[in-house]
Structure 1
Amino acid sequence: MSGDCVIDQSNRSLKFFLLGKENLEFLSLVPLYIVLFNSKWFFIHIKGIHSSYTVLMGLALCIDYSLLFGGMYVDYNPEYINLFSSFLCQVGIPAVVKISVFRELKLGIIRLLLAIAVCNSHFELTSLPMVDGHEAVLTFFAVSGFYMAMILEERKESPGCFYKSRILSLYPMFLFAVGVSAAILFFLDAHPLISRAQVVEILSNPSGFFIVLWTSVCVVGQELLFSLGGGEGGSLHFISGDMPSIYNHVFLVQAWSLSLEIVFYSLAPFLVRLNSKILLGLSFVSLLFRVFIVLTPLSDQSFFLRFFPADFWLFGFGIISYRFYRGLSKKVSIVDYLAFISLIALVMIAGGVSNTYVPFFLPMGAIVLQPFIFRAFQSLVLDCVVGKVTYPFYLLHYAVIGLFEEYADDPLGWHIFAVSMAAALVAFLIFSPGIGVLRSKVRRRASGNPILGTA
């Protein structure tokens, strides 16, 4: 059976059960059946979402048929369906819902769209000129500004409570993803960019070991690896232009964005207290700095491509975008859905924009459109669920790409997407219950009430 564990005598590498052909088809179905088997339970226990049931089932059928006609799988195997149904019961999905972990995250559909764009930049999913991964991450920053402003202004959280909540939201999943990526690299020698021998070489040097360890475990500063090159014996030096850097020698390549996010989180409780005029002024200065970088030779320097002062405008205008939303009528209109369609169109064509304008094209579009999109989907449970899964998807998809490139003869982008989503859902189910409990305790202590608190 192709799903069994076998030893390839040519390279002595272990081919795991999950990489068998039938099992790849089964994993492709995981996102669909997560929705199918759980949607009814959601609507029994969460108020006011009967209309969302129809949306979820319709989406599930759309995913189903799109995968079918896309050649992702040929037929349904009842054994897989029964196996997965049993798995869902055993992992305790009701416990996840009871802790109300689905209630918090908003703008999930936008986040998933951007995460797909990042995945597409690492392994092609579509031939359309979809936005590049770097610009998709910049747009994430604008969405983050909107969302953090909403959390801080609506919940009135203290800075300490906010920081603890952010750490619990980001760090456990980050460490899990680092562990998965490191295990795959060291045990299977599977990585889209590097080999195990290359990592061992850079780690053999004390400075290289410290920098890679720091940026992999502590996150902050990981964007600097794009500006460092490796020399003989694992030595490090700053580079410029298109010279090869050591960014691909870390276990979680895409986690550089978390470094800039953390810097923003450290400032967010104070930024939301600023007068809108002051915040606009600071954001415009940052935007002008980015424009200056783009129009000068500094654009060729890797250091300035991921430089917080030049990217601050994304977070700042994200906060302003939320304040604009607060002034809108709460009544959903056709404009909101047109805004969502427009954002999808921008994502799909941004890759064809001139390099001069591409750092601004999609982020500015998201800043303008996200208040309307949020108004349209804020009561949709699916938006919350998708938002929760997007973060582990972003962290794990690169490891999945490495496995497919190592073991699949002719990997398809949508196979990688489906398995990455399946891995993200499993990681979400593992971590969310515990994280939800811890965050509730943090908020109860912050409010001075040891018994009652919001989840």
Structure 2
Amino acid sequence: MGMIRFALAMAVLLSHLPLTNVKFIGGGLAVQAFFVVSGFYMALVLNGKYTDRGLFYTNRLLRIYPAYFVMMAIAAVFLFGFKASGTATLGMFEQAYTNPVTAIILGFEHILLVGQDILFWMKIEPDGDLVFDLANAPPAEDKPWAWQALLVPQSWSLSIELMFYAVAPFLARLNWRWLVALAAASIALRLSGYWLSIDLGLWQARFFPTALFLFIFGMLAHKALPLAMRLPAWTGWAATAAALTLIIFLPLAGLPDGAVRWITYVAIAAAAPFAFHVTRNLTADRWIGELSYPLYLTHLPFIGVVLTYEPPMPVLCAIAGSIALAILLFVLVDRPVDRWRQARAAGKAGPASTMAAATP
């Protein structure tokens, strides 16, 4: 599924690049599609690679944190050394970090990740205090969103991922009926936002209980993997092509936003087992897919460089530079750590570990 994962990462990059109108399905929806893919992969590894819950947790932390910490350091160099950021200014950071309480909270959030999604519900007052703004009113020059004081603000989704990792071993032990019931409860809670006096976008995208069903969709999709393994290979290639076409072209269909979202959720879940089966042994596809996480981390700081220094062919520079930095992050950080993770998992592998080894 490497090509699908990379296309989703590109959708996030393009959505944050104001210099082009090409956005694919958009960044927010692409992140939610990533949650579906994550649910599929976690169901796969928990049914094969990991028989030790502690090993699962530590290996997931190793998947997330090393590359994130390195990218946070790079983003700090871009911001404080070159005054380049895609989302913030030095003044915003000064406003936030001169307030001791806010500085402590933001410092912990930079390190812990969990809870960064909550910062999207808050703004920074002129005196640096953090205040909740459930209506998510547009920011003022002296009252920015709290997430703008994060060096890698797109890492809010990693907070949601980590919450899912915490419950994934328990969800993986449930039968499909319980999973469907939990997904239905999550969807019902999500829909309740239409009657609440809060920002609907935040309620649906920056709150783990209302995003849980996306992961469960992926876990339910995993249950179709035995079927995918029995069908001809062309079905997997057709599913891959359909998913890529949807990611790139679905917005051009002119459908309502709600329809686009639900079509994407269901289509990515439906395609996952078939696309995974046909591509899991392809080295090139896996390598492309492994770039999706580094690209997700690198693109905003590099877009900041492009917006600040305005080089020729800025769109090409932003895309090529982000991908180049992602490759460096993968080769120098992600891949060495991944080899260690896989070696740790191989020592306590379950019976389906061969297939699970194809997972990120």
Same topology, TM > 0.5: yes
Q: What is the CA deviation profile of residues 185-225 of structure 1, one whole-angstrom value per residue up to 9, with x for unaligned ones?
A: 11111112221122111111012112211221110000111
Is the partner of 2:291 in helix, strand or coil? helix
- Look up the match of 1:382: 284
In the alignment, does 2:259 pair up with 1:365? no
- Look up the match of 2:156: 256
Q: Is the 8 A contact 2:114 2:159 kept in 1?
A: yes
Is the partner of 1:357 in helix, strand or coil? helix
CA distance in 1, matches of 2:328, 2:311: 26
- Look up the match of 1:416: 318
In the alignment, does 2:328 pair up with 1:426? yes
**Could you tell me the TM-score, scaled by structure 2's length?**
0.88
Larger radius of gyration: 1
- Look up the match of 1:204: 98
CA distance in 1, matches of 2:92, 2:313: 24
- Look up the match of 2:177: 277
- Look up the match of 1:240: 134
CA distance in 2, matches of 1:433, 1:302: 34
CA distance in 2, matches of 1:189, 1:125: 19
Q: What is the CA deviation profile of residues 87-111 of structure 1, one whole-angstrom value per residue up to 9, with x for unaligned ones?
A: xxxxxxxxxxxxxxxxxxxx22111
Calculate percent identity across the aligned residue pairs. 29
CA distance in 1, matches of 2:337, 2:238: 36
- Look up the match of 2:53: 159
Q: What is the CA deviation profile of residues 383-423 of structure 1, one whole-angstrom value per residue up to 9, with x for unaligned ones?
A: 21112221111101111101111112455323211111111
CA distance in 2, matches of 1:376, 1:230: 48
Deviation at 1:303, TM superposition (A): 4.8
1:354–1:299: structure 2 CA closer, same or farther, 3 Å change rule? farther
In the alignment, does 2:84 pair up with 1:190? yes
Gaps of 5+ in 2: 140-144, 350-356
Amino acid at match of 2:38: S
**Could you tell me the TM-score, scaled by structure 1's length?**
0.71
Q: What is the CA deviation profile of residues 8-29 of structure 1, one whole-angstrom value per residue up to 9, with x for unaligned ones?
A: xxxxxxxxxxxxxxxxxxxxxx
Say which of 189, 199, 205 aligns to 1:289. 189
Q: How many residues align?
A: 343
Say which of 166, 172, 183 aligns to 1:266. 166
- Look up the match of 1:110: 4
Q: Is the 8 A contact 2:311 2:317 kept in 1?
A: no
1:432–1:191: structure 2 CA closer, same or farther, 3 Å change rule? closer
CA distance in 1, matches of 2:335, 2:159: 25
Gaps of 5+ in 1: 1-106, 448-453
Is the partner of 2:287 in helix, strand or coil? helix
Say which of 110, 114, 126 aligns to 1:220. 114
Amino acid at match of 2:247: V
In the alignment, does 2:199 pair up with 1:305? no
Q: Which has the higher contact order (CA 8 A, sep 6+)?
A: 2
Deviation at 1:124, TM superposition (A): 5.1
Deviation at 1:327, TM superposition (A): 3.1
Deviation at 1:296, TM superposition (A): 5.8
Q: Is the 8 A contact 2:14 2:23 kept in 1?
A: no
